[in-house]
A and B are shown apart, each in its own frame.
Chain A
Amino acid sequence: AQSVTQPDIHITVSEGASLELRCNYSYGATPYLFWYVQSPGQGLQLLLKYFSGDTLVQGIKGFEAEFKRSQSSFNLRKPSVHWSDAAEYFCAVVTGNQFYFGTGTSLTVIP
């Protein structure tokens, strides 16, 4: 069965520091992977997606993610975090029309 694991429930980083959020997936075939961000009380905004091709994908707001099949991972990175990046981040995999979300990582940014 398909599943997504986000090992870190909560991460705190200083503004300007680099960021890496971890995501591991379990999927039998080539996965279609996403990172979404959610600010408090808001909907989910798509940051980036991986379908095939180049394993390093660029997204909005300066985020990137790298697909590593050998590690079943799709980690999200940003070289320099801004205070406005504080939010909840969800990794997801889709099969057909069904999305499987990870449990989320809450990001706190300290000045």
Chain B
Amino acid sequence: DTEVTQTPKHLVMGMTNKKSLKCEQHMGHRAMYWYKQKAKKPPELMFVYSYEKLSINESVPSRFSPECPNSSLLNLHLHALQPEDSALYLCASSPGTRDTEAFFGQGTRLTVV
């Protein structure tokens, strides 16, 4: 299994809603990532979990809250988002050793209304 699975594929939420994005991998990878991608732009790193501990937080607003319940799962909790947060949210994983490739999920298309 070489897949990173993200759910849901599409999400529409109001600015007062609370929702969560989910990501799962069964490749035994120990590093997992959240990226945000706007149209026609490269992915922007948000968070990195390494061995289930948050190792990088790229100054992301607190309305985004990551969680890594175990080595296979990664969540992104969303609360009080703004319309400018509408984007494609990508999850990725890598083996956890240095300097290796990352495998990406298909993304969640988030629209904030």
- Chain A positions within 8 Å of B, measured between CB atoms, are 32, 34, 36, 41-46, 49, 51, 88, 90, 94-99, 101-104, 106
Contacts and interface: CB of A to CB of B under 8 A. Distances in A.
Which of A49, A51, A90, A99 has the most CB atoms of chain B within a 10 A radius of its CB?
Answer: A99
Contacts of B104: 36, 43-45
Contact of A98 (B48, B107, B109): B48
Interface residues of B, number: 29
Which of A34, A42, A95 has the most CB atoms of chain B within a 10 A radius of its CB?
Answer: A42
A80 to B, nearest CB: 26
A46 B105 CA distance: 11
B43 A44 contact: yes
B103 to A, nearest CB: 7
A97 B48 contact: yes
B24 to A, nearest CB: 14
